[in-house]
Structure 1
Amino acid sequence: MFSAYSGALDSYVYGPICVNKQQRGKGVAQLMFSELIRQVPNREGILFIRRDNEPSLRAHEKMGITKVGSFFFKDLAFDVLAYLSAAAENNK
């Protein structure tokens, strides 16, 4: 993952998150993500998601997390995504 995208020196790995099947689509992941950003402001979060996990990729895209790279591990394709808060972006 880090060879596909190294991120900032103070970045952190975000995830995985798990949402109960009955709670999916109700904004729970967005609430967890918003709380994470509140608790860890001004830093870049990096995550990786299997490319065939389309629901997770869509959910993270809705949260404003963007694809920054990709890699293969054991013949599985993964996308690397990153989120940088507006405040951290302004500090670059």
Structure 2
Amino acid sequence: MQLLVADLADIDGVLTLHRKYQIDTIQEGDKKDGFVTTSFTREQLTKLIQEEQGLFIAKHEGAVVAYVMSASWQFWAAWPIFARMIADLPQLEYAGHQLSTENSYQYGPVCVDKAYRGSGLLERIFDFAREKMADRYPVLVTFINQINTRSYAAHTQKLGLEVIAEFDFNNNHYLELAYDTSKSLRLP
């Protein structure tokens, strides 16, 4: 298993995995095990790679089997849900920081192929991405749809993210979570 900062040659593999678990294209039977709500284009992933160095992947036998997206709020601002989160940042505090677009970044989506779930890969790719972003930002922020119970459990129980707020958007209820990027998961 390789953990890598993605390059442009990895986009097709990321999009293949993404479509498998994105809410609009996921098989109905797989929804209960978690899903990704945001959709992405090749152009958006190109920008994420070239301008943010914020696409982290796990490859096994040449195939992308997991990814984590992490980027500045400026990158995410074009999506309405992230614009909402940006507007709320000044009212939030975490790990001794009054949150802002300068001291926090948006983590996620994250996706792990179901064949690799429960193997420790989530923890490994999370910590890899966290370490790469920690020099730029002291706080990671993300959101999880309240009905995505598997993702909530994984992020709070396995990774240690903490709920800092709740919000409604587009008829969905979300939990907003944060993590101190100076804290390693201390993986074996």
Number of matched residues? 87
Percent identical among aligned pairs is 30
> 2:179 is aligned with what amino acid?
Y
Query: For 1:74, which of 170, 179, 183 is the aligned residue?
Result: 170
Letter in 2 for 1:70: E
Q: In the alignment, is the contact (CA less than 8 A) between 1:4 and 1:70 conserved in 2?
A: no
Structure 2 residues not aligned, in runs of 5+: 1-84, 91-98, 184-188
- Paired with 1:70 and 1:40, the residues of 2 have a C-alpha distance of 24
Which of 20, 37, 40 is the aligned partner of 2:113?
20
- TM-score norm. by structure 1 comes to 0.82
Deviates more, 1:64-73 or 1:1-10: 1-10
Map 1:1-92 to 2 at 5 A: 1-6=85-90, 7-8=99-100, 9-41=102-134, 43-61=138-156, 62-86=158-182
Bigger Rg, which one: 2
- What secondary structure sits across from 1:55 in the alignment? helix
Contact 1:5/1:68, CA 8 A, preserved across alignment? no
TM-score for the superposition, normalised by structure 2: 0.43
Secondary structure in 1 aligned to 2:174? Answer: strand
The structure in which a higher percent of residues are helix is 2
Q: Which has the higher contact order (CA 8 A, sep 6+)?
A: 1
**How much is the aligned-residue C-alpha RMSD, in angstroms?**
1.7
Residue 90 (structure 1) aligns with: none
Residue type at the aligned position of 2:144: I
